Amino acid sequence: MNREWDLLHTPGPTPIPPSVDRAMIQPMIGHRGQKCKDLINRITPRVKSIFGTSQDVLLLTGSGTSALEAAVVNTTKPGDEVIAVVAGSFGARFAQICESYELNVHRIELEWGNAVQVSQVEEALKAHPETKAVFLTHCETSTGVMHPVEEVAKSVNEISDALVLVDGVSSIGGARIEMDQSGIDLLVTGSQKAMMLPPGLAFAAVSDRAWEVIDDNDRPRFYLDLRTYKKKLGDGQTPFTPALSLLFGLEEVLNLIEEEGLDDVFERHQLMKNMTREACKALNLPLLVDDESASTTVTSIKPATFNAEQFRKLANEEFGLMVAGGQNHMKGEIFRIGHMGYCRPANVLQYVSILEIILKRLNHDFKPGAGVVAAQEVYLNHTREGK
């Protein structure tokens, strides 16, 4: 099957809305000219509400990881004590970046599939009172856990001066987050998840408190030096040539989000999460994460009666349905369905129905139609209550 028929449900990259595709192929413009300044000045104020902040949202040209690294190198010095919550590949990556940059990292290691508890971070802070920063992942893409980063941030702020730095790569745009209210100091994301764009653009928002640390920090840095991004943004520019086609696309993404309404965007993600999870339960498919800790953007299934890779292979071959496998030690044990960005309840009904067909082929024991009906019921109940 060629890719025109693919149903992309990995937790990023995600499908691009057709109007965003069209917006990206506008004629190229100079990055130091007035048209580019106008574009950046139109875009950046509109991104703030998605981050729950009144701070500027800086635009970096790079993968999401470039923004994670920016968070590390701008706020820390070699030897600094920091705490990192590691409950999957992306928590591990944040910690690994910290270690690469010679920080003294205290890891809070959790079993994959679990969310961190506020008390665990509090204990770590008590054990390491010199901690300068706490690194958190909002949605841990490798498991589908949504860590309670807002609660953690509030608690850290109450008992410590440590900065709270949050990886929002697979959550921003698909889950509400109140950066300012909860006292998050640095929040980053990438373009290729709930932001409905191709990969290549990264975003970073910074609190006043974090700017003080950043401005005072003499660690060597250049491409990812957030000070230059802040300075240039004042003039509607970026320090280096930005990913212009993605900026063109971003403007249309913002149109789409505002047309739907940001609250409704978040509610749609919540609904897709619930539809997916109830369908899995009805199909006797164990979920890796409990309801409360589960992400609104990605759901991990841990099948008991077949190999997860076998499922992925069949779903891909027969329907072009692309879901992600498990990472590291979870390979073969789980598969992960992305439901974020350009994805709506109708897509959930579609993949649940496909899922049932593949389960049949794998001789999994379930009642045909039960998953679809469960998803339909969640949908119907939601719209009865909500509208």
Tell me the two tokens of residue 89: 């590949």
Does residue 144 bind a copy of itself (CB under 8 A)? no
Does residue 224 bind a copy of itself (CB under 8 A)? yes
Does residue 326 bind a copy of itself (CB under 8 A)? no
Which among 121-129, 206-214, 221-229, 287-295 is the span making contact with a copy of itself, rule CB under 8 A?
A: 221-229
Nearer of residues 156 and 214 to a copy of itself, judged by Cβ = 214
Does residue 100 bind a copy of itself (CB under 8 A)? yes
Q: In what order do the strands lie in the sheet with 324-325?
A: 298-301, 335-338, 324-325
Radius of gyration of the CA atoms of the chain, in A: 21
Residue ranges at the known binding site: 336
Residue ranges at the known binding site for substrate: 336
Residue of the chain from 50, 84, 97, 354 that contacts a copy of itself (CB under 8 A): 97
Residue type, 150: E
Residue of the chain from 138, 147, 221, 336 that contacts a copy of itself (CB under 8 A): 221
Which among 175-183, 190-198, 203-211, 273-281 is the span making contact with a copy of itself, rule CB under 8 A?
A: 190-198
Neighbouring-strand partners of residue 60 = 202
Residue of the chain from 51, 101, 135, 319 that contacts a copy of itself (CB under 8 A): 101
Which among 16-24, 173-181, 270-278, 369-377 is the span making contact with a copy of itself, rule CB under 8 A?
A: 16-24
Residue of the chain from 49, 63, 120, 270 that contacts a copy of itself (CB under 8 A): 63
Residue 267 burial by CB count (10 A; 0-12/13-18/19+): exposed, middle or buried?
A: middle
Tell me the two tokens of residue 34: 């007035």
Spell out, one character per residue from 33 to 52, where the chain touches a copy of itself: x when CB under 8 A holds, - when not: x-x-----------------
Residue in the structure block whose two tokens are 């897709």: 272
Minimum distance of a copy of itself from residue 197's CB (angstroms) = 9
Q: Which residues fall within 8 angstroms of residue 43, CB to CB, at 6 or more apart?
A: 59, 247, 250, 251, 254
Residue of the chain from 190, 303, 326, 345 that contacts a copy of itself (CB under 8 A): 190
DSSP annotation string for 97-134: HHHHTT-EEEEEE--TTPPPPHHHHHHHHHH-TT--EE
DSSP designation for 323: -
Does residue 104 bind a copy of itself (CB under 8 A)? no
> 3-state class of 135 per DSSP?
strand
Nearer of residues 8 and 373 to a copy of itself, judged by Cβ = 8
Does residue 253 bind a copy of itself (CB under 8 A)? no
Q: Are strands 7-8 and 81-86 parallel, antiparallel or unpaired?
A: unpaired
Say if CB 91 and CB 169 are below 8 A apart. Answer: no
Nearer of residues 191 and 293 to a copy of itself, judged by Cβ = 191
Neighbouring-strand partners of residue 83 = 106, 134
Which among 84-92, 242-250, 261-269, 370-378 is the span making contact with a copy of itself, rule CB under 8 A?
A: 242-250
**CA pair distance 187, 49, nearest whole angstrom:** 13
**CA pair distance 247, 108, nearest whole angstrom:** 37
Binding residues (CB under 8 A) for a copy of itself: these are 3-4, 6, 8, 10, 12-16, 21-22, 24-33, 35, 61-66, 69, 78, 96-97, 100-102, 190, 192, 198-201, 220-225, 239-246, 322, 324
